Amino acid sequence: MPPEVHFAMMPVICIASSSYSLPYVKKALEEANIPILSAKITMVPKTLVPIAEEGTAQTLLKLVEALDDLDDVQQVYANFDIPEKIMETLSR
């Protein structure tokens, strides 16, 4: 029986590869007995657009939430970067 793994105590490493390589990377990790929390193909932006205004950030977050709420939408991706300070202000 394999040892019990407590994921909360383990460091998390994010590995990015091409979609073609995903099954090979996953297999190599499994063969090395490295636990996998998640293995999926996702969209990662090449460039981020900084959002400096609170109003713009609020509008974008509302748009993403509205898109995510649609029944026909499975995933929502965005390339905006909202600073922590603005996110803290909006979360109040």
pTM for this model (two decimals): 0.66
pLDDT score, position 9: 66
Considering just the CA atoms, what is the radius of gyration of the chain in Å? Answer: 18
Q: What is the 3-state secondary structure (H, E, C) of the chain?
A: CCCCCCHHHCCCCCCCCCCCCHHHHHHHHHHCCCCCCCCCCCCCCCCCEECCCHHHHHHHHHHHHHHHHCCCCCCCCCCEECCHHHHHHHCC
pLDDT score, position 1: 44
The mean pLDDT values, 10 residues at a time, for the chain of 92 residues are 58 88 94 90 92 96 96 95 94 86
CB atoms within 10 A of CB 59: 12
Judge contact between 60 and 82, C-beta under 8 A. Answer: yes
